[in-house]
């Protein structure tokens, strides 16, 4: 049992001002796995005051001081990486191979990338008679989700530290353990008091208090669209910057070539990773209509081949994060059947042989783009396959969405794939796979605003100052 009942404020682990706790449930067993404290607005005030005090000195720290700190954080992160991965598995159900693999790799990668970007980043640039300065925006409220805990936390903390900002982290209530360990990592690495603070609790309390707070200069939020909208409303009175990375309903376009079936299988398996709980997941699979039967066979085989079970065992897919999330996904699967979509794999209920835990069957439908299961973000292992007549039609379907976060194109002709990718209205597109920590990530349309990752991620935490006459003659 884990017992994390203290917050991290002003360089120390401290008790909440008003004691209040909540149990954390292991999604694989439905058993209580630990306890956390739930913070209050008073705890937020205390953390913000600490961050405001620390900003005076940290905002004028040198690049060398910040690179040294990030290097120390990276070393300590690597020392406790296995522990972080095990916490991710326990808190949100990712298979251990994923929790101790890609989950922790992402967090480590963002810290290392921020470190490398910082070494050469130009915080000052002379342009004619003007000096352009990039200065830290101030005190930042960082609100993170449960689905990729280390990725979404480190992609905010690392550039905020690198640019000279101070911060208050509000981790996800459903997946709080890895954030608590990360706070210990930052403390051991020597983050100055007040530069990093963390308050656990409900988003409706802690997130709202941060968003409204007059001494918070920026909110960076990753999560659902309705919460993002509310954060913007809460932040409006203080005219603070709000960066949002919200939901998606990403299209995966498979080109009509000899690799079509293999690419359909790969896309189907990819969708089921992390139990489908990925905002940029390719949840709409667009395939040549003339080869639909071939695509159905490939997708069904791939989905039925995904093993589901105890995340501490040798399975490809664990549970979804909570009972609530399980019920939402089940409702969508039922809706797909009621809408007349053709179910080719999976379906309602738990996988065969599993009677406990929030496990969902890897599910694939064949449907149309006007169905609810093709319009709304399900956030589970549910894929809808849609046929297209030609590439113009494929692009039209892909762009016919309220969202625009991720996109995928798979095919043998790189030139065609590139052309298709340029026509898709979405913030990040993967052509035949690949991965890049320096590729900016963020959304079009209702998928949010701003960009994270790499050098573009620094811009979120910087103000631009123009000093005109810096080089004026006489």
**Residues taking part in catalysis:** 245
Give the number of other Cβ atoms within 10 Å of residue 62's Cβ. 9
Q: Which two tokens stand for residue 387?
A: 């046929």
Strand partners of residue 317: 308
The secondary structure of 172-232 as a DSSP string is: -SSS-HHHHHHHHHHHHHTPPTTTEEE--S-IIIIIHHHHH-TT--EEEEES-HHHHHHHH
Strand partners for 220: 142, 243
Closest CA to 1 of 30, 28, 24: 24
Pinpoint the alpha helices (H) of 407-453. 414-423
Give all strands of the β-sheet with 2-4 in edge-to-edge order.
2-4, 32-37, 21-25
Give the largest CA-CA distance in the chain: 83
Torsion angles phi and psi, residue 329, rounded to 5: -65, -40
CB neighbourhood size of 133 (10 A): 15
Cα 129 to chain centroid, rounded: 41
Contacts 24+ apart (CB under 8 A), 450-453: 450/220, 450/243, 450/244, 450/245, 451/427, 452/155, 452/156, 452/159, 452/220, 452/243, 452/245, 453/110, 453/113, 453/155
Six-digit token string for 182: 């990360």
């Amino acid at each position: 049992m884990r017992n994390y009942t203290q917050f991290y404020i002003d360089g120390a682990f401290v008790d909440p001002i008003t004691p209040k706790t909540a149990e954390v449930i292991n999604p694989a067993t439905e058993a209580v796995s630990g306890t956390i404290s739930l913070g209050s607005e008073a705890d937020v005030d205390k953390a913000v005051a600490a961050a405001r005090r620390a900003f005076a000195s940290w905002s004028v720290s040198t690049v060398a001081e910040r690179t040294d700190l990030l290097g120390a954080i990276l070393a300590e992160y690597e020392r406790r990486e296995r522990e972080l991965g095990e916490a991710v598995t326990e808190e949100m159900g990712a298979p251990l191979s994923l929790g101790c693999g890609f989950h922790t790799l992402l967090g480590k990668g963002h810290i290392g990338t921020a470190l490398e970007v910082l070494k050469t980043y130009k915080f000052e640039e002379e342009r004619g008679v003007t000096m352009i300065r990039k200065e830290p925006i101030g005190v930042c409220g960082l609100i993170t989700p449960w689905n990729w805990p280390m990725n979404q936390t480190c992609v905010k903390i690392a550039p905020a530290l690198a640019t000279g900002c101070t911060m208050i982290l509000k981790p996800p209530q459903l997946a709080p353990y890895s954030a608590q360990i990360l706070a210990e990592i930052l403390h051991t690495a020597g983050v100055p008091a007040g530069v990093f603070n963390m308050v656990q609790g409900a988003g409706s309390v802690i997130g709202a208090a941060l968003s409204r707070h007059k001494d918070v200069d920026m909110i960076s939020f990753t999560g659902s669209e309705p919460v993002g909208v509310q954060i913007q409303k809460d932040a409006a009175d203080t005219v603070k910057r709000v960066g949002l990375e919200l939901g998606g309903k990403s299209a995966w376009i498979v080109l009509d070539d000899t690799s079509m079936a293999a690419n359909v299988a790969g896309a189907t398996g990819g969708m089921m990773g992390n139990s489908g709980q990925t905002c940029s997941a390719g949840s709409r699979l667009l395939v040549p209509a003339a080869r639909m039967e071939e695509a159905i066979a490939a997708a069904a085989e791939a989905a039925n081949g995904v093993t589901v079970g105890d995340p501490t065992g040798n399975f490809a897919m664990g549970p979804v994060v909570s009972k609530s999330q399980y019920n939402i996904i089940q409702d969508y699967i039922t809706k797909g059947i009621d809408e007349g979509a053709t179910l080719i794999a999976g379906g309602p209920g738990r996988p065969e042989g599993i009677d406990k835990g929030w496990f969902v069957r890897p599910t694939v439908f064949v449907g149309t783009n006007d169905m609810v299961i093709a319009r709304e973000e399900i956030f589970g292992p549910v894929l809808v396959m849609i046929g297209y007549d030609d590439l113009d039609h494929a692009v039209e379907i892909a762009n016919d969405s309220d969202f625009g976060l991720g996109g995928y194109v798979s095919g043998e002709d790189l030139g065609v794939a590139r052309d298709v990718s340029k026509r898709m209205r979405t913030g990040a597109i993967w052509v035949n796979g690949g991965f890049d920590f320096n590729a900016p990530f963020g959304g079009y349309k209702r998928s949010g605003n701003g960009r994270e990752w790499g050098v573009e991620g620094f811009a979120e935490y910087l103000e631009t100052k123009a000093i005109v006459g810096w080089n004026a003659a006489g």
